[in-house]
Chain A
């Protein structure tokens, strides 16, 4: 089809959808809609993982990000009852700062992309790299230290959350 393989078609469609939904996250006026668009973006990203033969990552991405974290986001946003009438008026200074910060971020992204080499995606095509077994082996041998550090970080966050959540500190 038009000289592209099915994988390339899928990649194109998923990328288009991901970018579109990401833009919708920014542009939609209702924060709940923003969160839902973000969930859709995550689905597209999970689709990309699948294209890269990383099924485990794809499903974990959905379980953790879409299934847990975004639900908590949704909790907070729904309970805060944000709507247009209550939206605080932004001063031009705020807008200017946001614009400059966003522009700088875009600049960094573009710069890093320009310097990066093109990845050879095809080499991963038929391999079993994304399977749970291989991922686990790599995670617990090569990347054991970062993995454990991350878990300690999560533990610290957990303890902090419990401390904040406690009514009184004894």
Chain B
């Protein structure tokens, strides 16, 4: 019992640290990558090759003056970013980061904090709670623009959650009706990755993930020029930092979810052949670590695609954004669901 708790504690801390670390370096990579795409050099002054830039940015955020609007609700004003950060970090707990391995003592240790049998729903639930951080933050600022920005962002998130949920349902049907992320990843071990069966579903999920994480081209909170920013207009110092940082954690987690759902998570093509060639036994820690590396490579590729899109596409207008969500993605995801059900029924995987 005690060893289990210790192991879980270590996994928790590891996931926590990796989420924060990846998010921190994603901020640097965002700037570097945008520079590369625009024929610039990017930040390279802090430390060797600018590698300490996230520390400098964080330090700057911490030492900035903290302004809490005079007539705002102070408790809710502080609660908003905390809640947003909390939900961003909570999602990491159900993602299977690697294969289980067996220790010398014979106990099985998994690379996942917890495997709940409704993991997919848990993800959707936590994401839907994330809206509250935005709403509370925007309202507690006691500023019309922040309030409008909060309503804009949260209605955007709610709208895209629907298409996202329906595309996930189609995925779950393909994956054999399981809602556990571990099983969804596991069943891609033997066969093909789910992207082969769900190309349209992946596209919808990807667009929705962009919208859910408030990334470009759906980054209306960022547009200070046209809309006076978004829900974080009144925020300063590390509270603003938390909002911005949570966005990067969300991006990391949604990349992880996408690679787990559609690209086989820690599996990669010819994995078993590779393990046989090196002579690794089933249950070896090296298999877990190699799988973890493969998973991470996929995540990093996804993060790069997120950034690539951000520095390519112009921002949507708000009505275009809503039209895309409700009039295009929702019918498309329903169509995808119908096709999936039909195909699965014909394949004999579904019974009446």
Contact = CB atoms under 8 A, between A and B. Distances in A.
B124 A133 contact: no
Contact of A32 (B117, B139, B154, B155): B139
A152 B125 CA distance: 25
Interface in A51-83: 55-56, 59-60, 62-63, 66-68, 71, 74-75, 78-79
A133 B177 CA distance: 8
Contacts of B161: 67-68
Interface stretch (B128-136, B192-200, B313-321): B128-136
Contact of A59 (B121, B132, B147, B155): B121
With a 10 A CB-CB cut-off, give which of A68, A74, A131 has the most chain B CB atoms. A74
Interface string B152-188: 0011001001000000000000000101000000000
Contacts of A60: 121
B157 to A, nearest CB: 9
A59 B179 CA distance: 12
B116 interface: yes
Contacts of B311: none
Nearest to B131: A71
Contacts of A68: 128, 158, 161
Contacts, number: 63
A96 to B, nearest CB: 33
B139 A63 contact: no
Given A67-B125, A71-B154, A132 B118 contact: yes
Interface string B103-130: 0000000000000111001101101110
B155 A63 contact: no
B125 A62 contact: yes
Given A55-B116, A55-B118, A63-B121, A78 B151 contact: yes
Contacts of B158: 67-68, 71
Interface string B277-311: 00000000000000000000000000000000000
A79 B132 CA distance: 15
A25 interface: no
Q: Which of B116, B132, B155 lies at the interface centre, i.e. has the most chain A CB atoms within 10 A of its CB?
A: B132
B118 A39 contact: no
A36 interface: yes
Contacts of B116: 55
Contacts of A55: 116-118
A151 to B, nearest CB: 14
B175 to A, nearest CB: 13
A39 B330 CA distance: 27
B118 A56 contact: yes
A67 B128 contact: yes
A68 B132 CA distance: 10
Interface string A117-143: 000000000000001110000000000
Given A56-B118, A75-B155, A79-B151, A39 B124 contact: no
A67 B121 CA distance: 12
Contacts of B124: 59, 63, 67
B110 to A, nearest CB: 19
A55 B180 CA distance: 12
Contacts of A132: 117-118, 121, 177, 179
A78 B118 contact: no
Contacts of B135: 71, 74, 78
Nearest to B147: A78
5 contacts: A36-B132, A55-B117, A67-B125, A71-B154, A71-B158
What 8 A-B pairs have minimum CB-CB distances, sorted nearest first? A67-B128, A59-B121, A62-B125, A59-B125, A63-B125, A55-B118, A78-B139, A63-B128
Interface of B: 73, 76, 116-118, 121-122, 124-125, 127-129, 131-132, 135-136, 139, 147, 150-151, 154-155, 158, 161, 177, 179
Interface of A: 30, 32, 36, 39, 55-56, 59-60, 62-63, 66-68, 71, 74-75, 78-79, 131-133
Given A63-B128, A71-B154, 11 more contacts: A36-B132, A59-B124, A63-B124, A63-B125, A67-B127, A67-B161, A68-B128, A74-B135, A75-B155, A78-B139, A78-B151
